[in-house]
Each structure stands twice: as C-alpha cells, then as structure tokens.
A and B are shown apart, each in its own frame.
Chain A
C-alpha cells in the first residue's frame, strides 16, 4: 500500500512540477513575510475583515521604510474568513498576520496555527486594556496584539421608548416588562441572538461555557447557571417580544423604521446600527447592560479580536512590530475607529479624540463613555476553549430553531445540542473532556 501511495504522490508531483512554468506566471500572492524588492524591505501581509485597515496600512507604509504592509480584506471569520486563513496555512502561503476573534484563538492554538510571540510582546503589555490583553493570551502565551474589544451595552431607540412611555431598563426583569409594553404597540423588543451574540449573556451572568477541571475540559453551556439565562430568553421568545433574525434584511429594516426597539450587544454594534438603520439617525441611545440583580455592575463581552501572528511567518518579531503598531498608533487607531467603528483595545486607542466627541447618530451622546464604563465591568471568569466553531455553529442552528419555535426546540435544547457536538469533537481529537 505504502509504496503505491508514494508512487502516486510522486507521479502527481512530477505532474505539478511539469506544469510549474504556468504556475510561476499566474501566482499573484507572495507568501507572508517574504522579503520583497531590494531584499532589505520586509513585507508583512495582513488579512482582516474589519474595515479601516487599508487606510491604516497606507499610513504605516508612508511612515516606515524597513517594513511594508500588504493588506487584503477577507470575509468575516465565521462567514468563510477562518476557512480561508486555515486553508492558506495548510497551503503554506499564509499571511504573517490575520484578524482572529478572541473566541477562536484557542482553536487556532489547538490546531497549531498561530505563533507564540510572548518574547517580543511582553514589553508592550501595558499599552493595552486588561480585557484586551486577556483575549490574546492562551495558556500563558501571547499570540498577537489585541485589536478591539466588545463590552456589552444596551442600544435602544429613545424616540420609540419615549413615545411609548418606556423607561430605560436597568434589570433584565425591567427589560422584559418593557418588551410587554412595546408589544402592545406592535413593536418588537429586539431581534434574535443566535451564536456569539448569545454567548455574551452567559458571560455577563458568570455562567462559563469552558472550564478546566482536573487537567481536562468541562464543556458547560447547559450548566444550571446557563439554564437560568436560557429560561429568561425562552421567556422572551414565549412572550412573543422578539422580532426578526439578527443580520437579516428584516432586522435592519426593523431597526430603521422603529419596529425593533433595542439591540443588546457589544460596543461594535454602533457601527452596524449606523449602516443598517441610517434612517433612524438621532433616535438611538446607549445605556449600560441590564443587570440580573438591581445594583450590580457586570457585563459580558462579545467579539473582540486580535492581529494574530500565523504559523509560517518567517519573521514573528517584525510581525509583532506591525501588529502592535496597528493597534496602538493613534493615527492608525483613528482609521480603525472611523472605518469599522471598532472599540479599541489599546490604551492609546481608548484615548482617541474620535471617541471623546458626541455622536450625532446617537443624538449627540458620547457613547464611548458608556463603553469605557462597560469595559471595566466585563466579567473576568470567562475563557474560551478548543472546538468553539463547532459549539457556536451548532448553537446557532439550534437557536434559530428555538426562535422559530420549531420541532420543540428551546434555548435549553440548543445549548445541550451544542455541548454534545463539542464534546464529541474534542474526544475524537484525543482531548480530555469531563462528562
């Protein structure tokens, strides 16, 4: 068997070599980090999905002579971006730096797809907000530069709230009550939260999905603490106060015409909201996330990403320099804030002038004040683990069914399904899992 395989592969490679002439002229990507031009200038390839990086790269290239950035925009991670990054790593022509969500980093670590840059990065730790720095470290090693964070807040349509006599809710109970009141006026309280968007609720409630116990992973999206959160959202579904699916056209339309009154989500929803619902400019406002217990001040985090240094990068130190610059250079951060509406993870970023001014879309409110408060209140007992894409992917499917009230699906069954799929996958790969 073995020899015939070797032979077959040999034939194939001869074939491909023979065709090499054509390859040479049709290949248009240089592999990440390869030296370009005169041999002294280092080219670092960067892939992200968030907007604004192209402008940031231009500034970098204008101000640096020894290193140049080659920038490419890719699809968002779970919409094909991660596939593309993984494929390019397997193919051996990955960029040096790619945007990776905090939640996906442990999977990338598990697959051996990222490079440990602890040595280069250690000195720059203080340039970042703690919540951001926590996101780029897995098992005590650093894998890239924090890019943005996603402290959760409440976006609400102030005009709709006032017209219907609804006060800004400070607890989840009040939030549900607001939903009932709006329902009477034919307005949906909010859209759906299906995958990562839902994880933030568990995060706030201190109900982790991943824990390490006795040298093995516990996968706990349907733990008792999680089921309490699930019960609450199931209650909202049963009360019929939840509207169109998140990210859908109907959702965007509902945000714009006032028929969907709130978004409970990360700071970066500010940018999404402006794009999706330009028509309702001036109507929206931001408040802190409702609490489980009145008087608490806890929130969760959704999203947040890093510029990860990928396997195969031939100069991780230069890569770190670039990643660090993108996240901390004031001019660069301004471009990211303008372009993608990200909420920065670096100290310099948080001090950006752009964040300190009132936003007309939000009726002149300085929304970053709310974000900054929230950023300091993010629960610290949350960690992501390997197999996240399966966990969240399965959850997303189950949640869609729960929202559609199909086949007896509930939030709780969706969470259980997600756990089962994840446990099965981790076991298959020889990872220790607690039942």
Chain B
C-alpha cells in the first residue's frame, strides 16, 4: 500500500527495462517459466475467489419454497431475480446499507484525518520520542478486531466503565451503547484499531519526501504548517488515496465489531450491517437469499471503489 507512491511516479526500473532490453528474446525464454511462478496463485485464486463468486451468483438465482405451513422441508426453485427483487424491498437490508454508508462517510475521514495528523506531527521537526508515539498508535493494530471489540464492550458497559467515572466528575452520564451512540461506539472501536495502521502507511510515505524539497521550502520562509499543507500532503496523496480505498472496503465489510458489541446492547440488531444481514439470512437457513445479498454488496463495493478512483484520478490529472 505504501508502495502506492509508485502509481504517482512510474517505477523507474520498468521504464528503463523497456527502453534498454530487446523485447523478443526474454519473452520466449521467460514465458516458459512464468507458469511455475504464477501457477500456484492462479489455481488457488480460481478456487478461492472465482469459484465462490460464480457459485454465489448461481445460488442466488434460486428461491426457497416451503409448503403452506412450512413444515414439510424445503425446495429450491429456479427464479433468477426473486432474491434480488426481495433484497431491494427488504427494509432491514436497505437500512443496514444506509447505516454503513453513514458510518463510512463519518468514520473514514475522521480516522484518516487523525492518521494524517499524527503522521505529520511525528514527522515534524518538533516531535520528540518519535519511536514511542509511532509504536503507541500502531499497537492497537496488533489486537484482533474481535478482541478489541470485546475490550471496548467492557469499557462501554454502563456501570463499570472508566469514562463515566471521569465524566461523572462533570455530572455527565453517557450510555455509549444506547440507540443514539451505538454507531459511533462502533466507529470508535474501528478508529482505535486502524488509525495507527493508516498512520504508518502515510508516515512511511512522508519519509520518502525528499529532504531537498523541504530545505528549499524552509529557505523560502515557509512555516511548518505551510510546508505540511502545501508540500508534504500533496506529495503523500497517493498513500492517502490508498488508505481511503482500503478504509471504504473495510467499512463495507463491517462485521466483527458490531457482532461482538451486539451482545451488550439492544441498539445493535442482528441485521445491523449488510454482512450481518446476510449472516442473519443464513441463520434462518435461507442460503440463496444470503448469497444474493453478498452479490449485491460485492457489486456495490466495486462500483463505489471504481467511482472513487475515477473521481480522484480525474482531479489529479
């Protein structure tokens, strides 16, 4: 991901290669060997990515049919669009998508803003104990998401949580898992876990900003703020874009955190996020519908990512 900087400037080695080596000779030689290098990946990829997608599409085209009282077992009937039509009218599913969109629109900028801010601060000349701060924000990345959700579920617990002991001093008492706060409680767990990860990527990109450029800026009398805003940020833009894409995908597959927190609150129901909704269909043994929900979601994420790519690349060119 860090490597995304390359997408800004084409890898020098490759261009050099194209210019210097005659294309024909190595082609005949290497193409014979390439199969051994890409073979294992291609086979596994077909088995673990392509086949499941096709299988999900296939499965989604059936409809569950039970007898009138539903006590005589299950039949699956071919009815290609039934589940898709149902999904579009399924208010819990649609709500779950809306919820995750809202989540993404708020949480992703907050998290990435925080990550960028910390990266810039650690990168700044004024920072002390850089190693410590880098590690402290990165430490949560080492905590599995379900474990961090478990941890936060204790921290959110209405009676035992240390925040409210603190807030109590100001006469406040917030139920973090109430209807109004639950989504942001989830957002906080995600932000806590992933800010450091994104920070490290942006920070690594900042490390690549050439020293001469910064010296030149200083000689021109640019303030640290101005340097950060006008020089550093534009230069690490590819890293920021990449972390954004990954965060969008991360939001789309939001599952672990709300799944764990659901144990502690009624504000999170079984269909809180689209993935949870698909899992809930599974729980009522409706595999075709779960498959249709997964397919819809995959298409949705792909469209969003492509749109985001288009938007950002147009602006940059």
Contact = CB atoms under 8 A, between A and B. Distances in A.
Q: Do chains A and B touch in the complex (CB under 8 A)?
A: yes
B292 to A, nearest CB: 11
A431 B66 contact: yes
A430 B64 contact: yes
B179 interface: yes
A390 B106 CA distance: 31
A215 B179 contact: no
Nearest to A19: B47
A250 B157 CA distance: 10
A400 B64 contact: no
Contact of A212 (B57, B69, B178): B69
A400 to B, nearest CB: 2
A82 interface: yes
The majority secondary structure among interface residues of chain A is: helix
A138 B70 CA distance: 11
Contact of A139 (B51, B71, B160): B71
Interface residues of B, number: 45
B266 A396 contact: yes
B265 A421 contact: no
B92 A9 contact: no
A82 B283 contact: yes
Given A11-B46, A421-B92, A428-B286, A112 B73 contact: yes
B200 to A, nearest CB: 35
Interface stretch (A103-111, A198-206, A324-332, A337-345): A103-111
A400 B265 contact: yes
B269 interface: yes
B51 A11 contact: yes
B55 interface: yes
Nearest to B159: A250
B47 A110 contact: no
A408 to B, nearest CB: 10
Nearest to B285: A111
B270 interface: yes
B68 interface: yes
A216 B68 contact: yes
Given A111-B74, A386-B71, A428 B267 contact: no
A429 interface: yes
A401 B179 contact: yes
Interface in A80-107: 82-83, 86, 90, 106-107
Contacts of A396: 266
A249 B160 contact: yes
Contact of A394 (B68, B86, B269, B287): B269
A282 interface: no
12 contacts: A8-B51, A8-B55, A83-B283, A111-B285, A113-B285, A390-B280, A390-B284, A397-B270, A400-B265, A400-B266, A406-B267, A429-B65
Interface of A: 1, 4-5, 8-9, 11-12, 15-16, 82-83, 86, 90, 106-107, 109-113, 138-139, 194, 212, 215-217, 249-250, 385-387, 389-390, 393-394, 396-401, 403-404, 406-407, 421, 424-426, 428-432
